[in-house]
Amino acid sequence: MSHRSRLTLTALTLVAAGAHGLAVSSLEEGLELRQGGITSPVLVLGGLRPEALPAASSEGLSIAVVGPEHLAEYARILPDHPVRLHLPPRTSS
């Protein structure tokens, strides 16, 4: 049996129990899940610097946008490296 991390083993357990998707705090964790064979949707909650979008795109990871500071750079990179972005709800008027 191959060595699998606790993160990957936990993800496999959650998927087997019916989880449709998973959320992680960093790109590294998302990549670890993909390397461990997890094919379910994965959302990276920690926010990413624009230069990390190609890696997220190549592994089919979704990204939570945590603030407006990188949106212009995302817009420049996304046409060549598409990822699904999750935007926070607007809570003020």
**Interval 12-43: pLDDT, tens:** 999 999 999 999 999 999 999 999 999 999 99
| Total-model pTM | 0.87
**58 part of a folded domain:** yes
**44 part of a folded domain:** yes
**75 part of a folded domain:** yes
Cα end-to-end distance, the chain, whole Å = 54
Q: Return d(Cα 20, Cα 53) in angstroms, integer.
A: 23
Q: Which residue has the higher pLDDT, 4 or 85?
A: 85
Structure confidence at residue 83 (pLDDT): 93
Which residues neighbour 13 within 8 Å (Cβ) at sequence distance 6 or greater? none
Q: Which residue has the higher pLDDT, 91 or 5?
A: 5
**38 part of a folded domain:** yes
Residue type, 87: L
**56 part of a folded domain:** yes
- Number of compact structural domains in the chain: 1
Residue 31: give the domain boundaries.
24-86
